[in-house]
Amino acid sequence: MLDLKFVRENPDIVKQNIKNKFQDSKLPLVDEVIALDAESRAAKQEADALRADRNKISKQIGALMAQGKKEEAEETKKLVTEKSARLAELEAKEAELSKKVTDIMMVIPNIIDPSVPLGKDDSENVELEKFGEPVVPEFDIPYHSDIMESVDGLDLDSARKVAGNGFYYLMGDIARLHSAVISYARDFMIDRGFTYCIPPFMIRSEVVTGVMSFAEMDAMMYKIEGEDLYLIGTSEHSMIGKFIDTIIPEEQLPHTLTSYSPCFRKEKGAHGIEERGVYRIHQFEKQEMIVVCKPEDSKMWFEKLWKNTVDLFRTLDIPVRTLECCSGDLADLKVKSIDVEAWSPRQKKYFEVGSCSNLGDAQARRLKIRVKGEDGEKYFAHTLNNTVVAPPRMLIAFLENNLCADGSIKIPEALRPYMGGKTEIRK
């Protein structure tokens, strides 16, 4: 959410940013929120003046009563009553206008970084760099679910009976591989100085609206019936929520956390051949990283975060590339975002396995995450997040890049301690 004062003083910048994100339908909101804000400030000014008058008159009543001027005091009381009635009207109007202003401000997108390429959707994202040499083996690589089933590692039919489409049973060595990847990612991030955390897997609505846009919430979140609770779609939500309504001493920054959690997503509109198996699912597990830092440090941390993911995938011999998200592909709270994509030998192309985002002070402003500087001044922190690994999707890249011609699956050296020393998976 933007600073209302910034919107008021820079409407043209805000409108151009909306155009850059190809959200022209939101352009009228800028003038509308400025007008509502002016009306709200006028109401507040009048209310403040009335409160001052009422207090002044109330003191006069006391003086009149002390002087025995009872009739005059009673007449003056009527004036106080009139002012109180008008004040009640103004306070109700203030509350109504404040809600309208907040609702609109929650919809106006954050100002994107000048380096973000302009584009309407993900088809116009820009490749930045490749890491590792993509290889296409001479033998055909089956679909990932067929690879898993060939080593008795996946049961989708039973999952459909138990929970419906979008769920799965991982079995045997594939289930063990899944846990090994998560454990390895945890230790990888701890070795890089991040504090390990297991957060709540449900969050309240005030946290949900603090960390994401309404459109994202509707498309992603599962609501707990009869409770003010939502299942998390990613642990970054409860991790950032950890700092809600806090004032952090500047010397304690940055906060760097890495978390494990299950994640739950509606995944609306997921269709097509590449959506079957465990590519796009309602339940998965994830290792995440978040940073809460000073504004001047957020660009530096952004570079560090996506490099962590690249480095981890390269230790597992998986070729990856980075992709800069264009303006139209950025969620409304994001300042800048880079996707990490892994090489798929079967598809002969890259596919997304993680996303790194700098949200500036948007989440901090919504959640009231403030920093107290050495001079005593308070300001909003910057927040960032990035995927470490998100199996089972990450397993797709792993299986395709480590499949052998005889159907066995190589286990890279880095994962062997987590697999009981195994060097391969066979039926």
24-41 pLDDT, tens digit per residue, is 999 999 999 999 999 999
Q: Which of 340, 335, 341 is nearest to 363 (CA)?
A: 335
With 70 as the cut, is the pLDDT of residue 73 above it? no
The pLDDT-based confidence of 393 (bands split at 50, 70, 90) is: confident
By the 8 A CB rule, do 58 and 87 touch? no
With 60 as the cut, is the pLDDT of residue 273 above it? no
pLDDT of residue 46: 86
Mean local confidence (pLDDT), 207-218:
85
With 50 as the cut, is the pLDDT of residue 356 above it? yes
pLDDT of residue 347: 95
The pLDDT-based confidence of 102 (bands split at 50, 70, 90) is: very high
* pLDDT greater at residue 270 or residue 320: 320
- Each residue's pLDDT tens digit, 130-164: 999 999 999 999 999 999 999 999 999 999 999 99
The pLDDT-based confidence of 323 (bands split at 50, 70, 90) is: very high
Q: Which residues contact 285 (CB under 8 A, 6 or more apart)?
A: 178, 182, 260, 261, 262, 263, 390, 391
pLDDT of residue 74: 65
- Each residue's pLDDT tens digit, 230-258: 999 999 999 999 999 999 999 999 999 99
pLDDT of residue 216: 80
For residue 378, what are the β-bridge partners? 372
With 60 as the cut, is the pLDDT of residue 272 above it? no
Residues of the chain with CATH 3.30.930.10: 122-425
d(CA 156, CA 300): 43
- Each residue's pLDDT tens digit, 162-196: 999 999 999 999 999 999 999 999 999 999 999 99
- Each residue's pLDDT tens digit, 358-383: 999 999 999 999 999 999 999 999 99
Fold of 4-105: Helix Hairpins (1.10.287)
Helix 11-20, helix 27-66: angle, nearest 10: 140
The pLDDT-based confidence of 267 (bands split at 50, 70, 90) is: confident
Average pLDDT of the chain to the nearest whole number = 92
pLDDT of residue 277: 86
The pLDDT-based confidence of 220 (bands split at 50, 70, 90) is: confident
CA distances for 110 relative to 4, 106, 149, 215, 360, angstroms: 12, 9, 45, 14, 8
The pLDDT-based confidence of 47 (bands split at 50, 70, 90) is: confident
Token pair of 60, please? 């006069």
Mean local confidence (pLDDT), 261-278:
72
In three-state form (DSSP H/G/I as H, E/B as E, the rest C), the secondary structure along 195-251 is: EEECCCCEECHHHHHHHCCHHHHHHHCEECCCCCCEECCCHHHHHHHCCCCEEEEHH
By the 8 A CB rule, do 278 and 144 touch? yes
The pLDDT-based confidence of 52 (bands split at 50, 70, 90) is: confident
d(CA 258, CA 185): 9
Residues of the chain with CATH 1.10.287.40: 4-105
Q: Which of 304, 322, 329 is nearest to 118 (CA)?
A: 329
With 80 as the cut, is the pLDDT of residue 301 above it? yes
- The three-state secondary structure class of 343 is strand
With 80 as the cut, is the pLDDT of residue 270 above it? no
Token pair of 354, please? 């993680």
With 70 as the cut, is the pLDDT of residue 66 above it? no
Fold of 122-425: BirA Bifunctional Protein; domain 2 (3.30.930)
The pLDDT-based confidence of 268 (bands split at 50, 70, 90) is: low
Whole-angstrom Cα Rg for the chain: 28
pLDDT of residue 269: 55
With 90 as the cut, is the pLDDT of residue 88 above it? no
Mean local confidence (pLDDT), 66-82:
70
